[in-house]
């Protein structure tokens, strides 16, 4: 597969790609993130294998990233579990997506919501990744 450069249009925003072992979980997290951030931010979700079983697919990740390249200045991938991280990294390497795509280190739900809100403000990929990482520090009870 050949690599590509993400669009250099400065008016485009950072996108969020949710990668889960479950299509239902990925779609639900996408729904929540869009409800909180608004429809102006690009949030995509992939989950499960092509046959609908649980797992992560590098091919699905590559296809999602490819569909985001013209709509986003960069993409933060938020995986759910360890093997989703490995699959996401493999997809980035296989398709040679480069520096405009990065795997975020943060909780999938809180990270997706806060990252999408930050992206909706027009923040660059580096800031969106930072916000996703900081989401791990959020306390749910006093």
Single pTM value for the model: 0.92
Looking at per-residue pLDDT, the higher value among 57 and 140 belongs to 57
5: DSSP letter: P
Residue 2 scores a pLDDT above 50: no
What is the fold of 13-137?
Rossmann fold (3.40.50)
How much of the chain exceeds pLDDT 90, in percent? 82
Which run of H or E residues covers position 115?
A: helix 108-120
Give residue 20's pLDDT: 98
Give the range among 1-10, 36-45, 66-75 with minimum mean pLDDT. 1-10
């Amino acid at each position: 597969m050949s690599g590509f450069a993400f669009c250099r249009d400065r008016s485009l925003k950072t996108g969020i790609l949710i990668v889960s072992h479950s299509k239902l979980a990925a779609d639900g997290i996408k729904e929540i993130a869009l409800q909180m951030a608004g429809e102006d931010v690009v949030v995509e979700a992939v989950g499960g294998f092509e046959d609908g079983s649980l797992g992560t697919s590098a091919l699905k990740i590559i296809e999602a990233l490819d569909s985001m390249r013209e709509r986003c200045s960069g993409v933060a991938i938020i995986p759910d579990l360890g093997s989703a991280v490995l699959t996401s990294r493999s997809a980035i390497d296989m398709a040679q997506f480069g520096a405009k795509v990065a795997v975020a280190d943060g909780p999938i739900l809180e990270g997706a919501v806060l990252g999408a809100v930050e992206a909706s403000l027009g923040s660059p990929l580096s800031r969106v990744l930072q916000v996703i990482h900081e989401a791990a520090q959020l306390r749910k009870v006093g």
